[in-house]
């Protein structure tokens, strides 16, 4: 479930619970559902925070790249650029047009 959907449903549940119109059993079920939704929202926010921190760190180090984010994956090691190979000089260093 997307963050916005979970947050919207959580807000609706809070509204129902604050109205004092729910019977006790439904109130407990709503509280249980709300707790699960809150945990989902917190997880998504934590993932977003980690991604923003990774992007900020990469931009400060001049290595800004974006990839699919996996919070469980280890941080990739810094990649060293491949050395540029200079063209081999020809036997005759004169410039030739034809």
What secondary structure does DSSP assign to 51-89, as a single string? HHHHHHHHHHTT--------TTSPPPPPPPPPPPPPPPP
Does residue 34 lie in a domain region? yes
Count of structural domains, the chain: 1
Residue 52 forms part of a structural domain: yes
Domain-embedded: residue 11 = yes
Q: Which two tokens stand for residue 24?
A: 């006790």
Q: Has residue 46 been placed in a domain?
A: yes
18 lies in a domain?
yes
Kindly report the CATH number assigned to the domain that includes residue 24.
Answer: 1.10.287
For 12-66, what is each residue's pLDDT tens digit?
A: 999 999 998 899 999 999 999 999 999 999 999 999 999 999 988 888 877 665 5
CB 29 within 8 A of CB 13: no
Would residue 91 count as lying in a domain?
no
**Is residue 19 a part of any domain in this protein?**
yes
* 0.85 exceeded by pTM: no
Q: What range does the domain containing 46 cover? A: 3-60
User: 10, 34 in Cβ contact below 8 A?
Assistant: yes
> CB within 8 A of 7, min separation 6: which ones?
37, 41
Q: Is position 9 within any domain?
A: yes
- Give the containing element (helix H, strand E) for 18: helix 3-18
pLDDT digits (tens, 9 = 90+) for 34-45: 999 999 999 999
């Amino acid at each position: 479930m997307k963050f916005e959907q979970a947050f919207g449903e959580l807000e609706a549940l809070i509204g129902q619970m604050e109205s004092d119109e729910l019977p006790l059993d439904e109130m407990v079920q709503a509280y249980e559902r709300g707790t699960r939704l809150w945990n989902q929202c917190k997880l998504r926010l934590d993932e977003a925070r980690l991604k923003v921190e990774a992007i900020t760190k990469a931009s400060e180090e001049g290595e800004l790249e974006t990839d699919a984010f996996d919070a469980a994956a280890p941080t990739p090691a810094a990649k060293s650029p491949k050395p540029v190979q200079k063209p081999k000089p020809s036997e005759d260093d004169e410039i030739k047009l034809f």
